[in-house]
Amino acid sequence: MEKDFRKQQNHKENKIENEDQVEGRNSVIELLKSGKDINKLFIQKGEKHGSINEIITLAKKNKVVYTEVEKSKLDKMATTHNHQGVIAIVPPYEYCEVEDILEFAEGKGEKPFILILDGIEDEHNLGSIIRTAECTGVHGIIIPKRRSALVNATTSKTSAGAVQYMKIARVNNLTETIKYLKENDVWIYGTDMDGESFYNQENYTLGVAIVIGSEGFGISRLVKENCDFLVKIPMKGNINSLNASVSAGIVMYEVLNQRKETMILN
């Protein structure tokens, strides 16, 4: 498939048109550290304690003007109901192209490590997955434009600011995207309770994309049919399913552990 694949979606479709906001101290600290644009920064009036002082220091260093406002104003603005005394108004999150993720991995001299989320609609789950992905060295996350949570204030706060460092691509068709990844030497591993092997019996040292399905329905049929391997996580209790972010974390750390061993051997 030609390079035009990454440009087939109009760039404007990859952006939410209105301003967005980032809430909570850790999220705003990581936002300031990332150097990304901030349109407005609101800090609660009153005595300043702990990490609020770090936010003020970073804002001054980055020449970000902040306004002190009453707690009641922040309460009205907040969408997460836990703003911790700080809200940043930012441009809409800018999603990347799939090829940007591949180029990022190549630039680091690493085999691609990608996460594909099929039907993760809960913003808290998405945020938790992003946080673990950033910690385990995932080069990028791919989500569908339909039936998926988006990056917003809740996602950002749940990720503890990790979203500022994670490349995320939104695509029209996961199946076509998987085919494109295969053409670029990426093996596709779907997580499924009826998988042929356990997740820790596979080799993840080559280019890999891990597919995580929704908690209610798992991986969609067409996506499952296009996976190279289906893997399962062993279960012993009475409940036969895990939270999607927990499942993702278990497999992501297996990939990280295998790659760390390879790095040590080399």
Domain containing 158 — which CATH number? 3.40.1280.10
**Chain segment 173-201, per-residue pLDDT in tens:** 999 999 999 999 999 999 998 898 999 99
15 band by pLDDT with thresholds 50, 70 and 90: very low
Q: How far apart are CA 176 and CA 79, in angstroms?
A: 35
Tokens of 20: 């967005």
Regarding whether 70 and 116 lie in a shared domain, the answer is: no
What are residue 190's DSSP bridge partners? 211, 230
| Domain end among 53, 69, 90 | 90
Those residues whose C-beta lies under 8 Å from the C-beta of residue 265, and which sit 6 or more positions away, are none
**Chain segment 88-111, per-residue pLDDT in tens:** 999 888 899 999 999 999 999 999
Regarding whether 219 and 126 lie in a shared domain, the answer is: yes
Q: How far apart are CA 34 and CA 51, in angstroms?
A: 17
Are the beta carbons of 41 and 86 closer than 8 angstroms? Answer: yes
81 band by pLDDT with thresholds 50, 70 and 90: confident
Helices (H), the chain: 25-34, 51-61, 71-77, 98-107, 123-136, 153-158, 174-183, 221-225, 244-265
Regarding whether 126 and 79 lie in a shared domain, the answer is: no
58: helix, strand or coil: helix
Residue 8 lies in a domain: no
Q: How many CB atoms lie within 10 A of CB 39?
A: 13
pLDDT at 126 over 90: yes
Are the beta carbons of 155 and 122 closer than 8 angstroms? Answer: no
Are the beta carbons of 148 and 117 closer than 8 angstroms? Answer: yes
Domain that holds residue 223: 98-265
With CA atoms as reference, report the closest residue to 97 among 185, 154, 177, 207: 177
Residue 257 lies in a domain: yes
Regarding whether 200 and 83 lie in a shared domain, the answer is: no
**Chain segment 254-265, per-residue pLDDT in tens:** 999 999 865 544
Regarding whether 178 and 234 lie in a shared domain, the answer is: yes
**Chain segment 130-151, per-residue pLDDT in tens:** 999 999 999 999 999 988 999 9
Residue 103 lies in a domain: yes
Residue 2 lies in a domain: no
What are residue 75's DSSP bridge partners? none
Are the beta carbons of 99 and 3 closer than 8 angstroms? Answer: yes
Regarding whether 106 and 86 lie in a shared domain, the answer is: no
Regarding whether 157 and 52 lie in a shared domain, the answer is: no
Domain tally for the chain?
2
Residue that is written with structure tokens 């990304």 in the block: 36
Regarding whether 155 and 129 lie in a shared domain, the answer is: yes
pLDDT at 18 over 70: no
Q: Which CATH number does the domain housing residue 34 bear?
A: 3.30.1330.30
Q: How far apart are CA 185 and CA 105, in angstroms?
A: 13
pTM to 2 decimals? 0.82
Residue 38 lies in a domain: yes
| Domain end among 90, 110, 145 | 90
With CA atoms as reference, report the closest residue to 32 among 49, 67, 56: 56
The fraction of the chain above a pLDDT of 90, given in percent, is: 70
The mean pLDDT value of the chain amounts to 89
Regarding whether 119 and 78 lie in a shared domain, the answer is: no
| Domain end among 90, 110, 138 | 90
Regarding whether 126 and 216 lie in a shared domain, the answer is: yes
Regarding whether 241 and 128 lie in a shared domain, the answer is: yes
